[in-house]
Amino acid sequence: MRESDSPKQISAPKKEITNAISAQLMADVSNSIVVIRDQPVLLDVDVARLYGVETKRINEAVRNNPAKFPDGYMFVLNTEELQDLRSKFSTTKISPKSRVLPKAFTERGLYMIATILKSRTALDVTFAIIETFATVREIKRELIDLHNETDKNKQVKKMHRFGDLVSE
């Protein structure tokens, strides 16, 4: 195979993708993430709001595509978790009149939702979710690295790097 015939890897730099996604959308995704069962998740009501659909449409997508949501991709909150969530976050948009316990989507589950919902808004939201969760993982790695560093000069450099990540 000649060099000109070889497949080329095309990838957009993170900054390019992030710049194409509105800062408001990135902030909305970031602010919607909650930690339940020791993992970052988005609740069905927030997923629906971000994608611009009704919550019942998200729940229908799950019900109609159960193979796309195995354990680890999505779970239903129990009553205690729901009460805890309501007490910690006064801005929780879960209706007290709801007869159904909310669903929580892990990063993997959010990618599966993206395979079902097809629209320009869904594409933008999916990019924002990918970038936000990538940033969360990077911050976590940097924080662990900072915690394990014993050299004071390296700690200072890592604190600056950590600060840069958090402020992005």
Under the banding of pLDDT at 50, 70 and 90, the label for residue 96 is low
The stretch 52-78 carries a mean pLDDT of 93
Q: Say if residue 9's pLDDT is above 50.
A: no
Question: CB of 33 within 8 A of CB of 106?
Answer: no
pTM above 0.75, yes or no: no
Distance CA 132, CA 46 (A): 15
pLDDT at position 21 is 64
pLDDT at position 124 is 80
